[in-house]
Amino acid sequence: MAGGPKHGYGLTKDIEEFAGVRLQPGTLYVAISRLEQDGLIEALEADGRRLPYRLTTRGRVALRAQLASQQQIAEVGLLRLKVGGP
């Protein structure tokens, strides 16, 4: 949702493309429900049968912090691999 609102099917496809993971609908909708309860995403007006969601301001802040943390972890791991050799 960082790139814009998405409905469940769109999220499933996006996650599959960039992460190589195919989420089952039950897994996805439990996560959506939790994110919505935590105020990180919000539902928009339904588009026919599809219900799109978008990040809230709080969600953007949380996502930015999580990505920065993951970037730091990746940088340390790559540095250690370089120092440790092949």
Q: What is the pLDDT of residues 12-70, one digit of tens each?
A: 999 999 999 999 989 999 999 999 999 999 999 998 889 999 999 999 999 999 999 99
Give the right CATH number for 8-84 from 3.30.9.10, 1.20.1420.30, 2.40.40.20, 1.10.10.10: 1.10.10.10
User: Which pLDDT belongs to residue 33?
Assistant: 96
Which residues sit opposite 43 in a β-bridge? 53
Neighbours of 35 (CB within 10 A): 18
Phi, psi (deg, nearest 5) at residue 42: -140, 145
Task: Give me the pLDDT at residue 25, please.
Answer: 87
Place of tokens 């301001």: 57
Question: Hey, what amino acid is at 68?
Answer: A
Residue 84 in this model has a pLDDT that exceeds 80: no
Q: Looking up tokens 């007006």, which residue turns up?
A: 45
Separation between Cα atoms, residue 82 and residue 86, nearest integer Å: 8
